Chain A
Amino acid sequence: SQTIHQWPATLVQPVGSPLSLECTVEGTSNPNLYWYRQAAGRGLQLLFYSVGIGQISSEVPQNLSASRPQDRQFILSSKKLLLSDSGFYLCAWSVSGGNTIYFGEGSWLTVV
């Protein structure tokens, strides 16, 4: 069966520091991968999605970036965090061409 893991689960970072959140999917090949952010108020904001290695699409211009160095690995990064980057970050995957998306456990980021 397929599983998705993301880490770290909780992160407290000072303003201006770098960020790296990692996500790995097991048990499938060539998945579509997604990064979402969920700020207070519950709504989901799609940040990036990827349909293959090195193929990243950005939905929202900001100081975050994403990379997919391996087929089942998706990384969310920032060179300098802002207070507004605080939130709950969710990685997700779907089968290529599939209609169902599955989420990881989420990562809480607090920028102080």
Chain B
Amino acid sequence: GDSVTQMEGPVTLSEEACLTINCTYTATGYPSLFWYVQYPGEGLQLLLKATKADDKGSNKGFEATYRKETTSFHLEKGSVQVSDSAVYFCALTSSGGSYIPTFGRGTSLIVHP
């Protein structure tokens, strides 16, 4: 079945540092890939998505590229802010017609001033 693997957290960075959160997946066919962000005490918000190979999703300074050859969708940001502190979830929906997304376990990001 489909699966999503994210790097273990927490990831702790200083403000203005570069961020990479790794995400790899296993799926049949051509899944759509997503990153969600969850701020403390809130629901998940869609951060960005990519629906086909080599697509780059971007939003709020974050970006991720759909790499089919390495089955990866790593989240990157060039300069993080304290307000980026949150939990980040990588997810996929299969192209096989299933409407149920598969989520990673989440990676906590802590940014210090």
Task: Summarize B's interface: helix, strand, loop or mixed.
Answer: strand
> What separation, in Å, do the CA atoms of A100 and B108 have in the docked complex?
22
A97 at the interface (CB under 8 A from B): yes
Given contacts A44-B89, A100-B49, A101-B101, contact A90 B106 (CB under 8 A): no
> What separation, in Å, do the CA atoms of A100 and B91 have in the docked complex?
10
From B40-48, B59-67, B75-83, the one touching the partner chain is: B40-48
B56 at the interface (CB under 8 A from A): no
Contact of B105 with A43 in the complex, beta carbons under 8 Å: yes
B93 at the interface (CB under 8 A from A): yes
Q: How many A-B residue pairs have CB under 8 A?
A: 48
Contact of B99 with A94 in the complex, beta carbons under 8 Å: yes
> What separation, in Å, do the CA atoms of A44 and B87 have in the docked complex?
12
Contact of A42 with B46 in the complex, beta carbons under 8 Å: no
Q: Which residues of A contact B108 (CB under 8 A)?
A: 42
Of chain A, the residue at the smallest CB distance from B45 is A103
Of chain B, the residue at the smallest CB distance from A32 is B99
Contact residue range for chain B?
20 to 34
Interface residues of A in 30-51 (CB under 8 A from B): 32, 34, 41-44, 46, 49, 51
B32 at the interface (CB under 8 A from A): yes
Task: From B42, B46, B89, give the contact of A100 (CB < 8 A).
Answer: B46
B34 at the interface (CB under 8 A from A): yes
Contact of A105 with B32 in the complex, beta carbons under 8 Å: no
Interface residues of A (CB under 8 A from B): 32, 34, 41-44, 46, 49, 51, 90, 92, 94, 96-106, 108
- Please name the 10 residue pairs, one residue from A and one from B, whose CB atoms are nearest each other, closest first: A42-B106, A103-B43, A99-B32, A106-B43, A99-B93, A103-B44, A43-B105, A105-B43, A44-B103, A32-B99
